Amino acid sequence: MTSSSALPPSVSVNSVPAPSAPAQDVAGTAVSGLGENHPLMDGRTADSPLIQAYRGGAPSRRPVWFMRQAGRSLPEYLKVREGIAMLDSCLRPELASEITLQPVRRHDVDAAIFFSDIVIPLKLAGVGVDIVPGVGPVLDKPIRTAEDIAALPKLSWEALEPIREAVRLTVAELGTTPLIGFAGAPFTLAAYMVEGKPSRDHLGPRTMMHADTDTWTALANWAADASGMFLQAQLEAGASAAQLFDSWAGSLGLNDYSKYVAPASSRALDHVRHLGAPLVHFGTGTSELLVAMRDVGVDVVGVDYRLPLDEANRRLGGSVPLQGNIDPALLSAPWEILEAHVRGVIAAGSVAPGHVVNLGHGVPPETDPAVLTRVVELIHSIPVG
């Protein structure tokens, strides 16, 4: 398998060369940049229901996984995390691997999602950041000036070794079940960096885009390269797909997203396009941005719970498979209401070129794990086609 540890140690987010275009064979077909022993290349995951649906094929059963399935609602997660800080748990390879595997064992979902956090690339680069319980990511010092950005530390390939090791441990246990890698999209990372903590309206980064465009662009590019390297490490180490997660893009209008954010998201994905793995783009509150999010160059668009999938497919012109979009609030509703909702989501998603069932956001921490297992059983019981 190709390993990012073989890349030059001196490469940093401030000096990453532009990724090359995917290699092509003599017929002009794109050739994956993954090694022959990668799960996507050696027969383990290429025919899995998830990858088939991501590629617009006919899966053997309806694929389903849940964002934030690794953690929070599972008692086994709370047990292994006891007394360990969030970011520390992400950087202990054996622990991160165990947490990633827990929902696959319990729920029979069709993919594992790598257990980590979107600010891990910042932490590994040396940016002072921590997850404060009840608050979220908090930086030691907000990043708000050109001088602040110029002083940002560099993310090295060596620093990503705990991520690669956790992925290797995980895929060794998953067998034919794919692992999905993920990273925070540049806008979401940059929004945390500018505000220094979570924000409801993200006025700081939105102001910077217009008031100091050059500084904003430099910060967005730094975040894009950090996220891109984070994704690359996961995919090269064995993840079979990757999702770029834009938590806060819904605070933007279409014009601002297209001008100030989409180029950075595309730059992040440029780090991994040549690998040939399916790429997914998801954001919350982004119903009006779906076409622009697709156009950064992804294979699948995730849709949150606010927009019916058939309408999302119409807006996208039936051009890509969709992922979503069970309303997380209904996981605590009576079963007959939840079942009807899940069946409705599947019916609406059936008009798209492919559909992977998921939530329209993450699993709420108070969710009864037995309900998730029952939802998976229901989805798998509904015939494909």
Q: Clarify whether 368 is annotated catalytic.
A: no
Rounded to 5°, angle at Cα 275 from 273 and 279: 55
Phi, psi of 311, deg, nearest 5: -70, -40
d(CA 297, CA 271): 12
Average pLDDT, the chain: 92
The answer to whether residue 279 is domain-embedded is yes
Residue 188 lies in a domain: yes
Distance between CA atoms of 102 and 91, rounded to whole angstroms? 17
Task: Indicate which residue of 55, 61, 72, 92 is catalytic.
Answer: 72
Angle between helices 335-349 and 369-381 (to 10 degrees): 40
Q: Are 178 and 39 within 8 A, CB to CB?
A: yes
The band of 200, judged by pLDDT with boundaries at 50, 70 and 90, is: confident
Other Cβ atoms less than 10 A from the Cβ of 61: the count is 16
pLDDT > 70? residue 275? yes
Cα(90)–Cα(99) distance, integer angstroms: 9
Q: Is the dihedral of CA 359, 206, 15, 119 positive or negative?
A: negative
- Residues 56-104: tens digit of each pLDDT: 999 999 999 999 998 888 999 999 999 999 999 999 999 999 999 999 9
3-state secondary structure (DSSP) of residue 261: helix
The verdict on whether 108 is a catalytic residue reads: no
Tokens of 164: 């690669």
E-strand ranges in the chain read 112-113, 129-132, 136-139, 179-184, 241-246, 279-283, 300-302, 322-323, 355-356
What's the pLDDT score for residue 219? Answer: 98
Average pLDDT over residues 278-292: 97
Q: Residue 18: inside a domain, yes or no?
A: no
pLDDT of residue 84: 96
Q: Is residue 12 part of a domain?
A: no
192 catalytic? Reply is: yes
Residue list, annotated binding site for substrate: 68-72, 117, 192, 247, 361
Q: What's the pLDDT tens digit per position in 207-263?
A: 999 999 999 999 999 999 999 999 999 999 999 999 999 999 999 999 999 999 999
Beta 322-323 vs 300-302: how paired, if at all?
Answer: parallel
Q: Give strand pairing partners of 326.
A: 359
Q: Which residues of 171-206 are buried (b: 16+ CB within 10 A; e: fewer)?
A: beebeebbbbbbbbbbbbbbbbbbbbeebeebebbb
pLDDT at residue 7, rounded to an integer: 30
Query: How many degrees, rounded to 5, is the angle at CA 165 between CA 102 and CA 127?
Result: 100
**Residue whose pair of structure tokens reads 């027969």 in the numeric block:** 43
Tell me, what's the pLDDT at 6? 32
Evaluate if residue 31 carries a pLDDT over 60. no
Residue 26 domain-assigned (yes or no): no
Does residue 351 contact residue 305 with C-beta atoms inside 8 Å? no
From 13-22, 193-202, 286-295, 313-322, the region with the lowest mean pLDDT: 13-22
Task: Say which amino acid occupies 79.
Answer: K
Task: Summarize the confidence of residues 198-212 as an average pLDDT.
Answer: 93
Average pLDDT over residues 174-190: 97
- Which position has the higher pLDDT, 198 or 180? 180
pLDDT over threshold 60, residue 325: yes
In which band, very low, low, confident or very high, does the pLDDT at 134 lie, cut at 50, 70 and 90? confident
How many structural domains compose the chain?
Answer: 1
- Is residue 29 within 8 A of residue 60, CB to CB? The reply is no
Residue-wise pLDDT for 9-24, tens only, equals 333 444 333 333 344 3
For 284, residues 6+ apart whose C-beta sits below 8 A from its C-beta are 246, 247, 248, 249, 250, 304, 361
- Read off the pLDDT of each residue in 340-354 and give the average, rounded to a whole number: 98
Q: Read off the CATH number of the domain in which 296 is found.
A: 3.20.20.210
42 tagged catalytic: no
Please report whether residue 324 resides in a domain. yes
Domain assignment present for 9? no
Question: Can you tell me the distance from the alpha carbon of 20 to that of 270, in angstroms, rounded to the nearest whole number?
Answer: 8
* From 68, 206, 273, 294, the catalytic residue: 68
Give dist(CA 338, CA 333) in Å, integer: 6
383 token code pair = 């015939």
Q: Which two tokens stand for residue 60?
A: 């053997």
State the pLDDT confidence band at 25, using cuts at 50, 70 and 90. very low
CA dist 345 and 110 (Å) reads 17
CA geometry: angle 142, 147, 148, nearest 5 deg = 20
**Separation CA 238–CA 181 (nearest Å):** 9
Euclidean distance between CA atoms 309 and 345, whole angstroms: 7
Question: Is 61 considered catalytic here?
Answer: no
- Give the domain range for residue 369: 38-381
Catalytic residue of the set 117, 270, 299, 304? 117
2 lies in a domain? no
Average the pLDDT over 114-143 and give the result: 95
